[in-house]
Chains A and B, each alone.
Chain A
Amino acid sequence: MPSAIPALPFYLLVTAIIGGALMTIFSRNVVHAAFWLLEAMVAVSGLFLLLSAEFLALVQLLVYAGAVAVLTLFVIMLTLRRREDAIRPLDTSVAAAGLAAVFGIVTAIAVGGFSPLPARMPAAAPGIAQFGGELFTRWALPFEVASVVLLIALVGAVWWSGEDEDQ
């Protein structure tokens, strides 16, 4: 395991992520935004690889990049009656920008102050096997609750997509 993270790939990925996010937010075409989001997700999964969290990188790729992005595209397709509906005036709001900027700055400063930030990365990092082992021992209960959450989402989605037959 490399004891330190090589600077070049990290910064490459950072530009990909931030660029993707910026394009998602500021693109006028909803479809383009969806694709840029997809690009950002893939970059994030790369970042996870850098942090030697292989399982999470894989999950990120499959779940977010695959399912969510595709699902978003589906809904966009369903809600566009005409092609040109996709092009929408760029919604900008100074208030939102102000609030987001303040929040970002405050957290950044606070993080800066996070005194014991080790620059060096510790050597050993547990692999997927240990992740799998712990998932079904220490984290079994959250796992079950997560499954319930999925069930609820399922019931809700089915309910809302169902037809509104007679009361």
Chain B
Amino acid sequence: MTWLLAIPLLPALAFALLAPLPRVTRNALRWVPAVAMAGSLAGALAAFAMVLRSGGGDQPIYHTSFAIATIGGKALDVGIQLDAVAAIMLLVVTIVGMCVQVYSLGYMHRDGRVGWYFAVLSLFSAAMLGLVLASDFLLLYMCWEVMGLCSYLLIGFWHTQEAPRMASIKAFLTTRVGDVGFAIALAIMYASVGSFGFAAVLHGYSWTPALATAVSLLLLFGAMGKSAQVPLHVWLPDAMAGPTPASALIHAATMVAAGVYLVARAMPLFEISQVALTVTLVVGTGTALLGALLATVQHDIKKVLAYSTISQLGYMFIALGTGSAVAGLFHLMTHAFFKSLLFLGAGVIIHAVHTQDMREMGGLRKLLPWTTAAFTAGALALAGVFPFSGFWSKDEILVSLWSGGHYVVFALALFAAFLTAFYMTRLWFRVFAGPAQKPEVREAHVEMIVPMVLLAGISLVVGFASPFFATFLGEHGGWPDIMMAVGSSAVATSGIVAGWWVFGKKAVDTEALKARFPHLYGIFDNKFYFDRTYEFVFVNAYNRLSDALWTFDTKVIDGAVDGFGHAWSAVAGGSWTFDAKVIDGAVMGLASTVTWIGARVRRLQAGRVQTYQRLVMAAVILLVLWIALKGA
């Protein structure tokens, strides 16, 4: 089964091949990563088939590891494994990855540095595949960080403009804040278990509740960074400055999902400590609500989708918070497909109208038939309308919430679902309904349409796999009960109706609404002032601190050594003049001090013999008296 290694290595090799090439040849070879991804897709399918044949369950059917280092005599193992969860994730990543590669061939072909784009996309895919296959937290962490790098490079792809540059560094640093927690969690694991393997850490060690809580909370903190949970979500909306297909892959399907995957993997640990689960639940709910609320007021189509992603990730964390990794993973899978579809659709729309601001769009229904159809499928899936996949996975979460007795969260989740349906309808009407403001729009090329249609189809079909999904993962599966299904559909449809009523019929004048509640709108507009507070509390404070330390370094420490001389002279009032050779030669104030002391010591050397004689005799007499008294 070592061909499993090929899945992550193929895209990695593509990157290694393309990176050192000069720009022109790299652009010419931009199709190589797509081929590599196709290979990985084939591998993923084969792997999925094998796991299916072996009946799934939580035991890995293949595991290999190799000693990356020997520490204090003991080997430190790193390796890959294939189990049900990995198989599913492989499938998700490769399918979405393939679609994005094909789509990008069309979307990016006019860009000057397209080769570099594909190379980094390929490295990203390799990292994500590596993360999914990892059999220990160390390899997972290493791929985790490489993914951070790729997201930095992709967000900042058009680095000549200011916005992408700032957004990329913001993304990298915010995720890096999370990674601090992750690193400390690893340190605790190594200190207590002595290795990072899933088997050893999750099952082979009897964790005390306190230590388990610490590790899980730290892992959660890391996951929150990567999966853009409140309060570490601020980087995702700005990350929209990157190319849209990249966002589709990273900020919809894969990278942001890595956090959820990590928590899912570490679920045995989370289950030991009740505290970690409740924290996950709270974070999830908060994020879901905040994401949904903010999505309703965005004017930039990609920002809407970004906040929607944050909200849906919040949902997944809710699922994990209730202890059911299956629901989380299932929602992760379905979300990956329809959210990447929505992003690709948005890409076509932006390409067509050359703007991301929805207020300049409208009436694209007739101009972009295929895109509208696919986009609508995705929108319905997101809204949770039967039979689309969104409905099933959200339903699973609501079931696990209800059965877990979290009634308050259940209500909030329903409200968030309502909001989701509401903002998607708002978006739909703003973009597709109404008069066409830009009539000369043409439909996208075929290589952009096919991936969208494929994803739309999957979003439609995959929902039905929900009962088999649970058993596949080794837990009891079954059809969701009717009552829950009816309830969630009702909420979804009422959201759509409300959206249609406000934006379709324009019954309510949104401008007047804004006027009446200016400060409420202000809060929304400033995105709950997260950015402003972070800017002030962290970034500016750190700038001021580093300037202060820098002046401290030059003025105080260095100065102490240099300035000692000048201070001394000021105190002593001594005005000694010595030529430039001494000043520029004096290495430090120390030297000027010492020269000053030297001048004082030499004052006795005044040239008159008699003074010398007297000084010598005085010294002699002193010595004589000292010895005589000492001796007597």
For residues 28 through 76 of chain A, which have their beta carbon under 8 Å from a beta carbon of chain B?
none
B628 at the interface (CB under 8 A from A): yes
Check B625–A96 contact: CB distance below 8 A: no
B621 at the interface (CB under 8 A from A): yes
Q: What is the 8 Å Cβ interface bit string for chain B, positions 598-632, against chain A (1 contact, 0 not)?
A: 00000000000010001001101100110010000
Partner of A95, one of B614, B620, B625, B628: B614
Residues of chain B contacted by A95 (CB below 8 angstroms): 614
Q: Which of A4-12, A102-110, A119-127, A147-155 lies at the interface?
A: A102-110
Partner of B621, one of A96, A106, A110: A106
The majority secondary structure among interface residues of chain B is helix
Check A99–B621 contact: CB distance below 8 A: yes
**Nearest A residue to B624, CB-CB:** A106
Residues of chain A contacted by B617 (CB below 8 angstroms): 99, 103
Residues of chain B contacted by A93 (CB below 8 angstroms): 610, 614
Smallest CB–CB gap between A161 and chain B, Å?
Answer: 22
**Nearest B residue to A106, CB-CB:** B624
Check A106–B614 contact: CB distance below 8 A: no
**Nearest B residue to A113, CB-CB:** B632
Check B614–A102 contact: CB distance below 8 A: no
**Nearest A residue to B617, CB-CB:** A99
Residues of chain B contacted by A99 (CB below 8 angstroms): 614, 617-618, 621
Residues of chain B contacted by A103 (CB below 8 angstroms): 617, 620-621, 624
Check B628–A106 contact: CB distance below 8 A: yes
Residues of chain A contacted by B621 (CB below 8 angstroms): 99, 102-103, 106
Q: What is the 8 Å Cβ interface bit string for chain A, positions 68-93, against chain B (1 contact, 0 not)?
A: 00000000000000000000000001
Residues of chain B contacted by A96 (CB below 8 angstroms): 610, 614
Cα-based distance from A66 to B114 in the complex (angstroms): 114
Partner of A110, one of B610, B618, B628: B628
Cα-based distance from A110 to B628 in the complex (angstroms): 9
Residues of chain B contacted by A102 (CB below 8 angstroms): 621
Q: What is the 8 Å Cβ interface bit string for chain B, positions 474-493, against chain A (1 contact, 0 not)?
A: 00000000000000000000
Smallest CB–CB gap between A110 and chain B, Å?
Answer: 7
Smallest CB–CB gap between A24 and chain B, Å?
Answer: 18
Residues of chain B contacted by A110 (CB below 8 angstroms): 628
Cα-based distance from A106 to B617 in the complex (angstroms): 13
Residues of chain A contacted by B620 (CB below 8 angstroms): 103
Cα-based distance from A95 to B618 in the complex (angstroms): 10
Smallest CB–CB gap between B52 and chain A, Å?
Answer: 110
The interface centre, meaning the residue of A93, A95, A110 with most chain B CB atoms within 10 A of its CB, is A95
**Nearest B residue to A91, CB-CB:** B610
Smallest CB–CB gap between A89 and chain B, Å?
Answer: 15
Smallest CB–CB gap between A115 and chain B, Å?
Answer: 13
**Nearest B residue to A109, CB-CB:** B628
Cα-based distance from A162 to B248 in the complex (angstroms): 106
Cα-based distance from A96 to B615 in the complex (angstroms): 10
Residues of chain A contacted by B628 (CB below 8 angstroms): 106, 110
Smallest CB–CB gap between A103 and chain B, Å?
Answer: 6
**Nearest B residue to A99, CB-CB:** B617
Cα-based distance from A99 to B620 in the complex (angstroms): 10
Cα-based distance from A81 to B610 in the complex (angstroms): 24
For residues 95 through 143 of chain A, which have their beta carbon under 8 Å from a beta carbon of chain B?
95-96, 99, 102-103, 106, 110
**Nearest B residue to A107, CB-CB:** B624
Residues of chain A contacted by B618 (CB below 8 angstroms): 99
Residues of chain A contacted by B610 (CB below 8 angstroms): 93, 96
**Nearest A residue to B620, CB-CB:** A103
Cα-based distance from A99 to B614 in the complex (angstroms): 8
Smallest CB–CB gap between B111 and chain A, Å?
Answer: 85
Cα-based distance from A119 to B610 in the complex (angstroms): 40
Smallest CB–CB gap between A25 and chain B, Å?
Answer: 15
Cα-based distance from A106 to B629 in the complex (angstroms): 11
Cα-based distance from A103 to B616 in the complex (angstroms): 13
Cα-based distance from A93 to B628 in the complex (angstroms): 27
Residues of chain A contacted by B614 (CB below 8 angstroms): 93, 95-96, 99
Cα-based distance from A102 to B628 in the complex (angstroms): 13
For residues 41 through 74 of chain B, which have their beta carbon under 8 Å from a beta carbon of chain A?
none
**Nearest A residue to B632, CB-CB:** A113
Cα-based distance from A97 to B614 in the complex (angstroms): 10
Smallest CB–CB gap between B453 and chain A, Å?
Answer: 108
For residues 385 through 418 of chain B, which have their beta carbon under 8 Å from a beta carbon of chain A?
none
Cα-based distance from A102 to B622 in the complex (angstroms): 10
5 A-B pairs besides A103-B620, A103-B621 with CB distance below 8 A are A95-B614, A103-B624, A106-B624, A106-B628, A110-B628
13 contacts between A and B (CB under 8 A): A93-B610, A93-B614, A96-B614, A99-B614, A99-B617, A102-B621, A103-B617, A103-B621, A103-B624, A106-B621, A106-B624, A106-B625, A106-B628
Residues of chain B whose beta carbon lies under 8 Å from any beta carbon of chain A: 610, 614, 617-618, 620-621, 624-625, 628
Q: Which 9 A-B pairs have the closest CB atoms?
A: A99-B617, A95-B614, A102-B621, A103-B621, A106-B624, A99-B618, A99-B614, A99-B621, A96-B614
